[in-house]
Amino acid sequence: MISVIGGVATAIGFVANGVKAGIKKSGNKDLALLYSEVPCVAAAAFTTNRFEASPVKISKLHIRNKTHQAVIVNSGNANCANGKDGDRKARLMAECIAKSLWLDKREVLVASTGIIGVPLPVKNICGKADVLANGLSKDGGRLFAETIMTTDTVKKERAVKIKLGRAVVTIGGACKGVGMIYPVMKAEKHATMLCFITTDAAISKGMLEDALCESIGGSFNMVSVDGDMSTNDSCFILANGMAGNKKITRKNSDYRKFTEGLKFVSAELAKMMARDGEGATKFVEIEVRGAKTKADASAVARKISASSLLKCAISGEDPNWGRVAAACGAAGVGFDPDKTDIYLGSMKALSNGAIAAGYSKEKARKFFTARDVKITVDLKSGKNKATAWTCDFSKEYVAINSEYST
């Protein structure tokens, strides 16, 4: 596996574009399109928030189609809590771009991100459909990544190449998300975090669905910015088979190599979201090991990553590791606190449930001044581990979210 510079248009046969449609008050680009030159198989995962946005509803229906060829996404408006009118407008987004691309509307997937409860100006979107389609290009991948941003400060793209037999397969992706980030996504077989992944691998729809399920559990579902689950979280992957590899139809060595590549791209994009969290000054990695089960390790890591008290302490460079211990105990997982260790970087703070000999608060405080912070918890209850990523809570986060809708 080789990491390469690129994103959603890096794989063979994929092109993209991003334009201004007058949705964002800032006047920045806000309407993006991803397109494959040939039909693809696709898989997707969506938010489990009961108040799901209209584009999530429509994409859940369209993902059941056998083939797909395009994804249209707008930023600046979530098209959520708009009732049946919102559903109608999400369908219209798919219909308008399908017409411009000479596709069936069911071959188009839809996504939106932005403020909730504001009617979507769908006329602006449909009015730009032809311009969007006519401007598709390989270079448009970076425009796509830029256009889907809301309060993001940087584009988030990643790509890898994998050798499958004699063929070289590419997996590329782009995502957005820096606030309202605590995804609990479930794959649909037949954020706001939005992620778009493309590959030129030849793979069956069933195997693509399974690979996506495997990848999101240790990536997007392990990132947290503020502990709030979005109504719009969506992750799409399209595979067009143009790399010419032997089609993956079972869980063989090629499937495992492909899935490892997908896991890498997904995890890297997830970490980019945590690093760019709204107002973030620090990136935090939390590793939990020694758990009875993988689910236990994930639950504890996620609970720690969502601790507002810990995130505030990290922002203030206060080495209050007691907040890590408290979060562990509140995760609903069975373990023995009297055997548990907590590390701040390489320094042990808690040893067998009590403050570690040689622990230095001064050294710990210096550790928390770093841009990257790693916290490790050893439950000593088993052999399973998991990693979660988050960021600190700064005053800037409060400022951004106290005036988001103004």
Dist. CA 178–CA 158, nearest whole Å: 17
φ and ψ of 142, to 5 deg:
-70, -35
Dist. CA 48–CA 188, nearest whole Å: 11
CA 390 to chain centre: 13
- Which residues carry out catalysis? 192
φ and ψ of 110, to 5 deg:
-130, 140
Dist. CA 27–CA 15, nearest whole Å: 24
Q: How many CB atoms lie within 10 A of CB 78?
A: 29
Q: How many CB atoms lie within 10 A of CB 3?
A: 13
- The residues, any chain, with a CB within 8 Å of residue 375's CB and separated by 6 or more, are 284, 285, 286, 287, 304, 321, 324, 342, 343, 344
Dist. CA 402–CA 406, nearest whole Å: 9
Burial 43-60 (b: 16+ CB within 10 A, else e): bbbbbebeebbbbbbbbb
Dist. CA 310–CA 300, nearest whole Å: 14
* Cβ(169)–Cβ(201) below 8 Å: yes
